[in-house]
Structure 1
Amino acid sequence: MKGYMNVGRVTDTVRMLEALRHQDDSSSHPDHVTYTTVISAFVKAGSMDRARRVLAEMTRVGVPANRITYNILLKGYCQQLQIDQAKELLREMADDAGIEPDVVSYNILIDGCILVDDSAGALGFFNEMRTRGLAPTKISYTTLMKAFALSGQPKLANKVFDEMLNDPRNGVSEEAKKIIQRIKDNGFHPDVATYGSLANGIALARKPGEALLLWNEVKERCRVKKEGETSDPSDPPTLKPDEGL
């Protein structure tokens, strides 16, 4: 069944489920893994209504879904930009099925908010995750940074970056540096605080080569143009570093 699912053969995946249903040996009847595989096939094909019907059937026949099943459905709704349905499924998951969402669940929802350009929604899920006592992962932080960077809010992205650096479980990461690059690509330029965060992260990671590259970039930003030297409108503004940087 997984083989059929992986290559997108949804009809064959469902046919296997039907075959298992009609086995005389009850131990061969579909279990939660079987149903979750079928749900994955429908999600991969973009057939969210059919995927939800399989979830309803699991409840009807007494085969409990687990967190993995719900996370697959959550991701499917987010990929289809159906964030309201994802939110409703999250509620059903916790209230009706009694399954607490995990960090993976919230990371999926935060990323889904990015797809619909909803940075406020991404922050809401990030805060809700922490309210539930779930510690953010590097993926949580960098996904939220991406939400703010893509929505043209570099200062908020910088605040999230600072918080990630102060989290003892995390350090500067390649993902975080990519987010800073996205800030630049969107026409914004790192300020003193952003450079300071990067410098602190590089120092904690003990990467002198990266420190030198960052210092060269800062020096270029500090350079005052000579009299008569032409300026390009796309050039970043002159930087005035503080003592800390």
Structure 2
Amino acid sequence: MSFSRILQRAFCTSTQPNPTTRQSIKAISTDLYKERNLKRLVEKFKKSSELYRFRTKTPIYEDAVRRLAAAKRFKWIEEILEDLKKYPDFSHEGFAVRLVSLYGKAGMLENAQKVFDEMPDKNCERTVLSFNALLAACINSKKLDKVDEVFKGVSQKLSIEPDVVSYNTMIKAFCEMGSLDSAVSMLGEMEKKGMKPDAITYNTILNGLYANSRFLDAEKLWGRMVEKNVVPDVRSYNAKLLGLAAEKRTEEGVELFEELKNKGIKPDTFSFNALIKGFVDEGKLEEATKWYHEMGRSNCAPQKWTFQTLLPFVCEKGDLDFAIELGEEIFKRRLLVDAALLQIVVDALVKASRIEEANKLVKLGKSNSYRRYNLKLPTEE
């Protein structure tokens, strides 16, 4: 069915949110997802946006903005999002917040700020909700120096009282800038204002401290979190697992892993990745291999990062059977990795005179259905 026919069908059923309307929106979404010509994508998007139910589908907009931003088509992002301002939805803060957020994710902070500034002209009230969206846009745009300016300046100018989300965003910015002491000091400021820092507050700072080799400071903060009756969750434990791995104390990490399970917390992929990373850094192939397989038995899916950490190490240690297993798993899971990562396996197989298996991996790189990898078979020495 043509795109114009799909759209016509959607408009004919748009007055009632019935199954036919949902199917029509789904068909439009599928057509947009399959559209490879970005200019046509923009044109179709603007036409589809005339349909109210389409305008309510945030994930469709996020996907389009992500694709256009990856192609550096920022003018086209602006064309799509500015076109939305003509609709009455813009008078609702939630809709304006979405525009601010989308511009932020595209790295277009000036446009996000412009939307925020225009809200009063559309009789759209600015509350802490849109204020928090603007703070998040600063971080997503990598304009970390602007977060403090917005936090202090805008809140005072508009008499908006920052909430826990505001402070959490500010803390995240400090951590990403490496200003960990400033992040910790925000805890005291929150408590003075009668706010209760939550798990997100503590986990953000714990991540920063553990990742920057400030293990003792992180442990003190962990104790403070427990004293304040904030229960550590899987993200808290993952931060500590990475901290132990960075300290080359991965065996202690295994004990911590058992502790979190005993407390009824389900480990996730990041939990396993932390242990794998630790054992790789310590040069312990058997343990790293064990925890990779344990990940699968626990129904946690390995990610791109898992293979980036493990594959070069496995090849270096000469376990080529495991390297082949990992390489094939990348294709099975349709993960997008750098071709150089797979080439390491091919080169190691050729060096070990396992030409047939190397050739199989090269062919798999060319024949798989989701991405072509131009792997090369080196001349056998």
TM-score, with length taken from structure 1: 0.69
Q: 1:2-151 counterparts in 2 under 5 A?
A: 2-21=101-120, 23=121, 25=123, 28-56=124-152, 57-95=154-192, 97-151=193-247
Deviates more, 1:109-118 or 1:56-65: 56-65
Query: Whole-Å Cα distance in 1 between the matches of residues 267 and 184 of structure 2?
Result: 31
Structure number with greater CO (CA < 8 Å, separation at least 6) is 1
What displacement does 1:185 show?
0.7
CA distance in 1, matches of 2:205, 2:147: 18
Q: Which stretch has the larger CA shift, 134-143 or 44-53?
A: 44-53
CA deviations on 1:63-109 (whole Å, 9 max, x unpaired) are: 122211211121111111110111122221221x3221111111111
Inter-partner Cα distance in structure 2 for 1:122 and 1:208? 28
Q: Which runs of 5+ in 2 are unaligned?
A: 1-99, 300-316, 318-381
Q: Once the two structures are superposed, what CA deviation does each residue of 1:89-137 show, in whole Å capped at 9, x if it has no partner?
A: 2221221x32211111111111111332212222222221111101111
Contact 1:142 1:175 (8 Å CA) reproduced: yes
* Structure 1 residues 24 and 176: alpha-carbon distance in aligned structure 2, compared to 1, 3 A threshold: closer
Q: Is the 8 A contact 2:206 2:218 kept in 1?
A: yes
Aligned to 2:278: 183
Alignment check: 8 A CA contact 1:58 1:65 kept:
yes
8 Å Cα contact 2:151-2:170 kept in structure 1: no
The two structures have a TM-score, normalised by structure 2, of 0.46
Task: Pick closer, same or farther for the CA change 1:20–1:138 going to 2, 3 Å.
Answer: same
Work out the CA distance in 1 between the residues paired with 2:235 and 2:143: 27
Query: Secondary structure of the equivalent of 1:101?
Result: coil
Structure 1 18/60 Cα, relative in aligned 2: closer, same or farther at 3 Å? closer
In structure 2, C-alpha distance between the alignment counterparts of 1:160 and 1:59, rounded to whole Å: 44
CA distance in structure 2 between the partners assigned to 1:147 and 1:208 by the alignment: 23
User: 2 CA distance for matches of 1:182 and 1:67?
Assistant: 33
8 Å contact kept, 2:104–2:141: no
For the residue of structure 2 that corresponds to 1:39, the secondary structure is: helix
Percent of aligned pairs with the same amino acid = 15
Unaligned runs of 5+ in 1: 210-233, 235-245
- 8 Å contact from structure 1 (residues 44, 76) kept in 2: no
Q: Structure 1 stretch 117-126 or stretch 136-145: which is displaced more?
A: 117-126
How many residues end up aligned between the 2 structures?
196
CA contact (8 A) 2:106 2:141 kept: no
Aligned residue runs from structure 1 range 139-218, under 5 A: 139-167=235-263, 169-187=264-282, 189=284
Q: Within 2, Cα distance between the matches of 1:5 and 1:176?
A: 30
Contact 1:32 1:63 in 2 (8 A): yes
Instruction: Supply the distance in 1 between the matched residues of 2:218 and 2:103 (Cα, whole angstroms).
Output: 34
Give the letter aligned to residue 153 of structure 1.
Answer: R
Identify the structure with the greater helix proportion: 2
RMSD: 3.1
Contact 2:109 2:138 in 1 (8 A): yes
